[in-house]
Amino acid sequence: MTNIIIAGAVGLILSMLGTPLAIRLFSRRGYGQEIREEGPSGHHGKRGTPTMGGTVIVLASLLAYGASHLASLEAPTVSGLLVLFLMTGLGAVGFLDDFIKIYKQRSLGLRSGAKALGQLIVGAIFAVLVTQQPNIYDITPAETRLSFLRDFGPSIGLVGFTIWVLIMIVGFSNAVNLTDGLDGLASGATGVVLGAYVLIGNWQLRNNCIDQLGPNCYWVRDPLDLAVVAAAVLGALIGFLWWNAPPAKIFMGDTGSLALGGVLAGLAFTTRTQLLLIILAGLCVIITLSVIIQVGSFKMTGKRVFRMAPLQHHFELKGWAETTIVVRFWLIAMLCAALGLGLFYVEWMPRP
């Protein structure tokens, strides 16, 4: 438990102090956000706001994770390192995307194919490694099976599992990216999910099959360290949100949104809660579905369902204030996380 507190506290402090330094550095170098001309008119005033703030989140998370292990004199675990690798790798893809936008002074960075290729390469490496590295009890960070509240069903094989991992990683990294459309929206929404994973990791630790074998125990390789990872990123995210809240002084950019989506997907696989993530991160899923519905409807019928997609921009064009949308969407994110945690706890409860 001490590791979790240290990771969260260090991540918070580093991000809180590091973000204003990044704001000054990026402003001096002209690393400002480009705004799409077809976007809501209210966003044009945000042009030039420093971006790539996700670098602070990633660096603060890595340093906080390392600090927690230095304090406890415990070695990092394979599960924790794999999730951080996924976060850093996708963050690097996002960094390239952000840098190209800034360098070429346009709202589009990497071509969609190149961006997807980067996500697939990082995801494939994670998929292969996460099914290896067993501990002394022969438990690997993940198994080639589907999971909801725990693993279920037969193995889908390494190939099938790799495809599933790639779908989840690309899906959720892009889902967080789509959610990052208003000041503080993605930071708050993903922070709620990370908080849920701190609780899930801690609960799995206290009911681990290695320590107390029983019908409701969890076969998870490194539950405590996964909670530490979630706490480190959550602390860094809260510190960043202090400066990203409306009106934002800095944006996380694709560097942050892709990295955060990777963390969520990585935690889902290593805690054996893959499908539960769809509920925990329900707001990101809803926003992504709004884009799919909008594009599908326009291609098939020539008509749009929403005034603009993603969903948050639809409400902007309806006249809702940005802070109103952000707070209400945060509430939806909290409800989704609460529902997911409720299902997780109810499934564990011993049957009479």
The chain-wide mean pLDDT, for the chain, equals: 91
Mean pLDDT of the 195-223 span: 91
The pair of structure tokens assigned to 277 is 């993530």
pLDDT above 70: residue 44: no
* Range of weakest confidence among 65-74, 242-251, 326-335: 242-251
- Is residue 281 within 8 A of residue 55, CB to CB? The reply is no
pTM of the model: 0.94
Could you tell me what percent of the chain has a pLDDT over 70?
Answer: 93
- Counting beta carbons within 10 angstroms of the beta carbon of residue 104, is it exposed (0 to 12), middle (13 to 18) or buried (19 or more)? exposed
244 assigned ligand-binding residue: no
* pLDDT tens digits, one per residue of 110-131: 788 899 999 999 999 999 999 9
Is it the case that residue 91 has pLDDT exceeding 70?
yes
Distance CA 87, CA 62 (A): 10
Please state the rounded mean pLDDT for residues 233-245.
96
Q: Helices marked H in 207-252 — which ranges?
A: 223-244
Per-residue model confidence (pLDDT) at position 210: 85
pLDDT for residue 16 is more than 60: yes
Query: Is the separation of the CB atoms in 52 and 93 below 8 Å?
Result: no
Q: Please state, in angstroms and rounded to a whole number, the distance separating the CA atoms of residues 249 and 240.
A: 10
Is the pLDDT confidence value at 133 over 60? Answer: yes
254 is in an annotated binding site: yes
Number of Cα atoms under 13 Å in the Cβ half of residue 111: 3
Query: End-to-end alpha-carbon separation of the chain, Å?
Result: 31
